[in-house]
Amino acid sequence: MKHRVVLVTGAGRGSGEAIAKKFLSAGDIVVATDLEAPSWEYENQDENLLRFAMDVGNEKEIVSVISKVNSLTEGISILVNNAGISNGGGSLLNCTSERFDKLYAVNLRGCFLTMREVAKKLISEKKGGAFINVASIAGKNGFADTSLYGATKAGVIGLTRCLAIELGPYDITVNAICPGSVDTPMLAGLFKRRAEAQNITIEEAKHQMALTIPMQRLQQPEDLGELVYFLASKGARNISGESINLDGGVVRD
């Protein structure tokens, strides 16, 4: 059986790590990338795992890592654009242009550049593939003090819709997933602040948030792994241009 080559960005921890491990568990070849090459181990799958440092804010690094991976393997056919930063920028009056540029460079431009670089070989060889972009419900619903983050994630949804049309004729699907609150290090600061403010434990702060969600639970990184894996499967070959909520029922559009 032919192994698929799957590139996951931001795979050093959190959801990216869980997504990478889901593909590894299915026997795919995984290229795990992050600001520093990911260091986690996964069972005895090391022969199927390549690790690279790739800052998605750095175009040269993206071009060089993707071309290296394409020369070492049969070529990337599945791309998971998961790398992202939060701290939405703060309230309007506190948003700086530096923060705008940083969020834009990582969350939106990085997503665009990796798709462009991976698409080059896929288009020229007519191999087909699947691109899955991790957006957020913040790109659909508004949340206070997260305008810049929300704008970049809305941008990811827009890129996804347009590129689905452009890449469809090459048998490449392009979809976004829109998680709600995921229990990863990204939210650790938020839970800590809430726990301190109310003199409760972090677990209690998580439980409080869970009660605001119809399904009454936070998303776990493995939930993203399952959905992304499905979107990369044959069963999803006619799903493209979608931005699928993974939020326990918070956003119903």
Q: Which residues bind ligand NAD (CB under 6 A)?
A: 9-10, 12-16, 34-35, 55-57, 82-86, 106, 134, 136, 179, 181-182, 184-187
Task: Find out whether 184 and 221 touch, Cβ atoms under 8 Å.
Answer: yes
The residue from 140, 153, 206, 229 that is catalytic is 153
Q: Which residue lies nearer to ligand NAD by CB, 29 or 137?
A: 137
Q: Which residue lies nearer to ligand NAD by CB, 108 or 164?
A: 108
- Least distance to ligand NAD from the beta carbon of 233, Å? 20
The residue from 22, 121, 140, 149 that is catalytic is 149
Active site residue 153: yes
Task: Find out whether 35 and 52 touch, Cβ atoms under 8 Å.
Answer: no
Residue 226 identity (one-letter amino acid): E
How many residues are present in the chain?
253
With CA atoms as reference, report the closest residue to 176 among 196, 194, 161, 192. Answer: 161
Q: How far apart are CA 89 and CA 148, in angstroms?
A: 6
Q: 10: which 2 tokens?
A: 């931001």
Q: Which residue lies nearer to ligand NAD by CB, 155 or 179?
A: 179
- Least distance to ligand NAD from the beta carbon of 202, Å? 15
Q: Which residue lies nearer to ligand NAD by CB, 8 or 119?
A: 8
Pairing of strands 29-34, 129-134: unpaired
- Least distance to ligand NAD from the beta carbon of 234, Å? 25
Residue 46, SS3 per DSSP: helix
Q: What residues are annotated to the active site?
A: 149, 153
